[in-house]
């Protein structure tokens, strides 16, 4: 892939998708009841709060890593200040815009340069942008599947849900 192609892909495909997915991810995290953060469908699964944190923090991690052209581990633990889904959303809102702005500023030459991912992958920055989208969507699907069993309503994701119908536009 050329730097020009990577720049097009970032600006015309991934950045709009990332912005759109952000609002959808917020709705899903917001639907997690504050008192059900520990809920999980199986002992091997992440709890709802842990999964919400994983989604939000991984997006910032990927965008910052691409922008810096280096991935750095933060240990992966949930900060002590994160106790509820509202805390995750506050952190997400405070960190998403800055990370997205840094990602948007990455030059084409840097988007096609491979970046080591802890010895497991060595992909280009633009490939990590696509991986980040898939990763977030995958885990958001997991979190949305927790909602009804924990007593919450599933918000609209890509259209109506069984809990939130799509409203038809008004006709003239």
Q: Which residue has the tokens 């409203």?
A: 167
Average pLDDT, the chain: 95
pLDDT in tens, 49-80: 999 999 999 999 999 999 999 999 876 689 99
Q: Is the pTM higher than 0.75?
A: yes
For the chain, domain boundaries: 3-147
Which residues does 129 contact at the CB level (< 8 Å), separation at least 6? 9, 10, 14, 18, 62, 63, 66, 103, 111
Separation of alpha carbons 33 and 142, rounded Å: 16
Is residue 172's pLDDT more than 90? no
Report how far Cα 43 is from the mean position of its chain's Cα atoms: 23
Under CATH, domain 3-147 is a member of which superfamily? dinb family like domain (1.20.120.450)
């Amino acid at each position: 892939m050329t730097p020009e192609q990577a720049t097009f892909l970032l600006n015309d495909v991934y950045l709009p998708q990332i912005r759109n997915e952000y609002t959808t991810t917020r709705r899903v995290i917001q639907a997690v009841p504050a008192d059900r953060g520990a809920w999980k469908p199986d002992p091997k699964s992440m709890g709802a709060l842990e999964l919400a944190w994983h989604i939000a923090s991984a997006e910032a991690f990927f965008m910052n890593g691409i922008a810096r052209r280096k991935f750095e581990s933060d240990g992966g633990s949930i900060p002590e200040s994160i106790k509820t889904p509202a805390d995750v959303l506050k952190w997400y809102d405070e960190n998403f815009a800055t990370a997205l702005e840094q990602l948007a500023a990455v030059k084409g030459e840097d988007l096609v340069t491979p970046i080591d991912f802890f010895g497991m992958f060595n992909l280009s920055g633009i490939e990590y942008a696509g991986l980040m989208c898939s990763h977030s969507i995958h885990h958001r699907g997991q979190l949305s599947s927790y909602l009804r069993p924990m007593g919450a309503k599933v918000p609209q994701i890509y259209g109506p849900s069984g809990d939130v119908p799509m409203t038809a536009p008004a006709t003239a």
